């Protein structure tokens, strides 16, 4: 056993010396009985000491081997870590580090030991003093042999000694870019999940509404057809009755009949009868058109599309909106030329009419009632923008206004289906319908549809080929 295993060389003999002493034959002749017993006792003690030393040496070798295994294990773990790890004393001097820190610094472990970590850390705001006490998820760069490193997130933890007192710090670091990429990927996955869930809910809601609309349209179609089909004979009967009563009342000698006629207001009834019949007929026609629209929205069948001009559609829709309502609204038009799209003219006109009528409704009671309408081409899309000067749309309702049966109008003034139908029509045409608030007040609804070339351009192209 080497000298480092001997606690005190002046007090303990070496194992070899003890072994040689125990092998020396003693001549006990001439010794008194007391002296012989002392020598025998000394020899016995020496054998006990020798045996104990051998046992201590074996145990020490086992412990040294265990310590070496533990050190190799810890070193392998630290070397395998991709994150930075540094152990410092209370002054911030480096006591131990892992391979990742050494490779980042561009120096060997021997060169880094004893250096001040504070001198190697640069915070984004260029603070002169990097505090180990308050270091928690702190963004910083490290001075390396190749210059400043990328941003790292550093976290410091206090290290205690065997007496439980502060012995220094353990600092770990991870690249900010890696963390940000992980957070961004997690956020994207969460957003995709939310959008998928919303699409599923919306699809199920649309399917349910479609079935409901189809049933309502079917039930309304029969009585409306009955009313409409009877309006033509009713008009004919009314005309005949008017002619007959006119002859009867004009016959001579019917003074009593004339008095009854006057008291009952027969002349006023005859005058009101034609416009009343026409109003009923017009209402039946309008109801029939609504039912047709509902059936068209609930059943996606093959339809004939054609090339239509967006500016002409908007102009026609504005004319109908003005006829339907005597709204004192100042209209500002900025309509482009040759803004052609492919689609169903009646459906696109229905969208424009809904947007104009909603703008009129939103500005009821407002002192400044204006509506700005623009049509133009942008990035391969035909844009129709409707901006009113009403109160605008509350921010928390912007995402809901295209949902079915959602309305901000009073009960009885709106069904909540207009914008939903409009949104569905625009989507079916490959476009988009969005709502937003103007910075200067009022709402802005924008319809965008895929642009097509003007008919003249298409014709010229065909001639060239």
Q: Which of 66, 252, 83 is nearest to 152 (CA)?
A: 83
Task: Provide the greatest CA pair distance for the chain.
Answer: 190
- The distance from CA 243 to its chain's CA centroid, rounded to whole angstroms, is 72
- pLDDT band at residue 192 under the 50/70/90 scheme: confident
Q: Which of 61, 43, 47 is nearest to 1 (CA)?
A: 61
Q: Which two tokens stand for residue 281?
A: 């007929």
| DSSP-H helix ranges across 9-130 | 15-23, 33-80, 99-105, 109-112
Collapsed DSSP state (helix, strand, coil) of residue 166: strand
Residues in Cβ contact with 372 at an 8 Å cutoff, skipping those fewer than 6 apart: 332, 334, 385, 386, 387, 388
As a whole number of Å, the CA-based R_g of the chain is: 49
Residue in the structure block whose two tokens are 């770990």: 172
Give pLDDT, residue 91: 86
Q: Which two tokens stand for residue 84?
A: 């930075």
- pLDDT band at residue 374 under the 50/70/90 scheme: very high
DSSP H or E segment with residue 332: strand 330-335
Q: Are 298 and 292 in contact (CB under 8 A)?
A: no
Residue in the structure block whose two tokens are 């005190």: 8
Q: Name the phi and psi angles at 393, rounded to 5.
A: -110, 130
Q: Which two tokens stand for residue 239?
A: 């005309």
Q: Are 173 and 152 in contact (CB under 8 A)?
A: yes
Sign of the CA dihedral running 417, 422, 424, 425:
positive
Q: Name the phi and psi angles at 93, rounded to 5.
A: -80, 140
Rounded to a whole number, what is the distance in angstroms from the first to the last CA of the chain?
Answer: 104
Cα–Cα distance measured from residue 418 to residue 441, given in angstroms and rounded to the nearest whole number: 23
Q: Which two tokens stand for residue 122?
A: 């640069």
Residue in the structure block whose two tokens are 């997690």: 186
pLDDT digits (tens, 9 = 90+) for 311-326: 999 998 888 887 666 5
Give pLDDT, residue 408: 62
Tell me: pLDDT of 372 over 80.
yes
Q: Are 87 and 170 in contact (CB under 8 A)?
A: yes
Tell me: pLDDT of 222 over 80.
no
Tell me the fold of 81-180.
Beta-Lactamase (3.30.450)
Mean pLDDT of 63-92: 81
- pLDDT band at residue 444 under the 50/70/90 scheme: very high
Give pLDDT, residue 386: 94
Q: Name the phi and psi angles at 13, rounded to 5.
A: -85, 155
Q: Where are the domains of the chain?
A: 3-79, 81-180, 191-298, 306-461
The predicted model scores a pTM of 0.40
Tell me the fold of 306-461.
Heat Shock Protein 90 (3.30.565)
| DSSP-H helix ranges across 299-332 | 310-324
Q: Strand 370-378 and strand 330-335: pairing? A: parallel
- pLDDT band at residue 74 under the 50/70/90 scheme: confident
pLDDT digits (tens, 9 = 90+) for 380-434: 999 999 999 888 888 877 777 777 666 666 554 555 567 878 888 888 888 999 8
369: left (phi over 0), alpha (psi -120 to 50) or beta: beta
């Amino acid at each position: 056993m080497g000298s480092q295993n001997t606690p005190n060389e002046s007090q303990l003999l070496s194992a070899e010396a003890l072994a040689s002493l125990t092998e020396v034959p003693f001549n006990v002749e001439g010794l008194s009985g007391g002296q012989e017993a002392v020598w025998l006792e000394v020899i016995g003690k020496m054998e006990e000491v020798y045996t104990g030393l051998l046992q201590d040496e074996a145990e020490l070798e086992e412990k040294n081997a265990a310590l070496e295994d533990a050190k190799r294990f810890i070193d392998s773990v630290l070397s395998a870590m991709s994150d930075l790890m540094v152990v410092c004393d209370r002054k911030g001097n480096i006591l131990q580090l892992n391979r990742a820190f050494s490779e980042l610094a561009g120096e060997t472990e021997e060169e880094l030991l004893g250096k001040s970590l504070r001198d190697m850390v640069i915070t984004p705001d260029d603070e002169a003093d990097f505090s180990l006490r308050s270091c928690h998820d702190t963004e910083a760069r490290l001075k390396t042999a190749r210059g400043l490193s990328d941003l790292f997130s550093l976290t410091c933890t206090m290290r205690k000694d065997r007496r439980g007192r502060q012995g220094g710090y353990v600092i770990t670091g991870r690249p900010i870019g890696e963390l940000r990429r992980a957070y961004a990927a997690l956020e994207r996955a969460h957003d995709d999940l939310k959008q998928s869930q919303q699409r599923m809910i919306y699809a199920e809601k649309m399917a349910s509404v479609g079935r409901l609309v189809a049933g309502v349209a079917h039930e309304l179609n029969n009585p409306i057809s009955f009313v409409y089909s009877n309006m033509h004979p009713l008009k004919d009967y009314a005309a005949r009755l008017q002619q007959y009563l006119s002859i009867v009342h004009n016959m001579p000698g019917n003074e009593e009949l004339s008095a009854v006629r006057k008291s009952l207001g027969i002349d006023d009834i005859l005058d009101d009868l034609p416009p009343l019949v026409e109003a009923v007929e017009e209402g039946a026609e309008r109801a029939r058109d609504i039912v047709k629209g509902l059936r068209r929205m609930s059943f996606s069948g093959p339809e004939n599309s054609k090339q239509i001009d967006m500016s002409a559609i908007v102009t026609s829709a504005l004319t109908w909106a003005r006829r339907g309502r005597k709204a004192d609204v100042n209209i500002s038009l900025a309509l482009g030329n040759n803004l052609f799209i492919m689609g169903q003219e009646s459906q696109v006109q229905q969208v424009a009419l809904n947007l104009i009528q909603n703008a009129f409704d939103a500005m009821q009671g407002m002192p400044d009632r204006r509506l700005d309408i623009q049509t133009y081409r942008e990035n391969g899309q035909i844009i129709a923008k409707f901006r009113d000067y009403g109160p605008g749309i509350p921010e928390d309702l912007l995402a809901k206004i295209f949902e079915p049966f959602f309305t901000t109008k009073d009960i009885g003034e709106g069904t909540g289906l207009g914008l939903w139908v409009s949104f569905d029509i625009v989507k079916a045409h490959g476009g988009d319908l969005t709502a937003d608030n103007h910075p200067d007040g009022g709402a802005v609804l924008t319809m965008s549809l895929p642009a097509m070339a003007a008919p003249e351009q298409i014709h010229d192209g065909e001639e060239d080929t």
